Amino acid sequence: MALSYTFEGPRDLPVKQMAGDLAALSPEKVNPILARAASNHTRQHLFGLDSSRANLMGGRRSHFYGQAARSTQFGAAPDSFFVSIDHVGFRQRLEGGTIRPVKAKMLTIPATAEAYGHRAREFNNLRFALLKGIPALVQSTSQRIGYRRPKGSAKGSAAGKVTKGKVIPDKVMFWLARSVYQGPDPNVLPTEQDFDAVLSDRLDKYAARIEARQGRQTEGAE
């Protein structure tokens, strides 16, 4: 799931040293700046996670957090601004919860580095197997065979039937599950305190810059 988060504009921010009256700063001008600051902070945080949280199984990286960072953008209105992370799976990481399949009957959980970042259907050599009662998709080059003798036939009679037995897995590629619970991870986003600090700092800098510029313009006019 993707998400956006909305701030209610500069009125909510703890401002350290505001030059002049906050109301004098036009929200139409301030909000895009605060929105970009929040968006940049989020991007920076996510690229940081991309670098510190590689795929635990190893293998080719999907750069989930890097992609989330690139999907980060903002919008601003006179009374509020938002940052949106338009990336499938991000909200799930943040809030956690039970994942259920939407189209298929079962979820496929990568069991090896090779399977990570792939759909099971991308492999054309997977077979279903039950491994100690757990359903899985495996790569397999061998399978047990059975021999069923018809009732009443004599021992050694050739009239029996060869039957397919259990798949002997070479490698488990995916575990299958009807649902999976994922715990929440609030660390995938900067904290609200982080945002407050970044935004109030930006507002201070902006206000100071505008005040200084106005001062220079006044001096120039005199």
Partner 1 sequence: MLFDSPMPFREAIESLLARDLLPTNMSSAELRGLGKSILDRSLFSARNHYTEILDQLKNELQTLLNPVTAVRPDGTPYTSGTDVASVRLRLRRSLEGLGYQAPEGKKGTIEDLASEPRLNLVIKTNQQIAQGYGYARQGQNADVLDEWPGQELVRLEERVVPRDDWDERWRAACQQAGDTLALGIYRDTGRMVARKDSGVWQALGDGAGGFDDTLGSPYEPFAFGSGMGTVDIDRAESVELGLIGEDEQVKAIPLNYALEVSE
Q: Which residues bind partner 1 (CB under 8 A)?
A: 1-8, 29-30, 32-33, 36, 39-40, 44, 47, 50-51, 62-63, 66-67, 69-71, 73-75, 82, 84-89, 91-92, 100, 102, 117-119, 121-122, 192, 195, 202, 205-206, 209, 212-213, 216
- Residue 41 beta carbon to partner 1: minimum distance, rounded to whole angstroms: 11
Give the residue with the Cβ less far from partner 1, 53 or 149. 53
CA-CA-CA-CA torsion sign (193, 195, 198, 200): negative
Strands 126-131 and 134-139, sheet pairing: antiparallel
Residue 33 or 172: which CB sits closer to partner 1? 33
Question: How many CB atoms sit inside 10 A of residue 161's CB?
Answer: 9
State the nearest-atom distance from the C-beta of 72 to partner 1, in Å: 8
- Residue 117 CB, shortest distance to partner 1, in Å, is 6
Kindly tell me which of 130 and 180 has the beta carbon lying closer to partner 1. Answer: 180
Min CB(158)–partner 1 separation in Å:
43
- Using the minimum distance from each CB to partner 1, give the nearer residue, 5 or 131: 5
Measure CA of the first residue to CA of the last residue in the chain; give whole Å.
57
Find the shortest distance in angstroms from Cβ 15 to partner 1.
17
- Name all contacts of 71-77 with Cβ < 8 Å and 24+ positions apart: 71/2, 72/39, 72/42, 72/43, 72/46, 73/39, 74/32, 74/35, 74/36, 74/38, 74/39, 75/35, 76/31, 76/32, 76/34, 76/35, 77/31
Judge contact between 115 and 40, C-beta under 8 A. no
Helix (H, G, I), strand (E, B) or coil at 139: strand
Nearer Cβ to partner 1 (69/111): 69
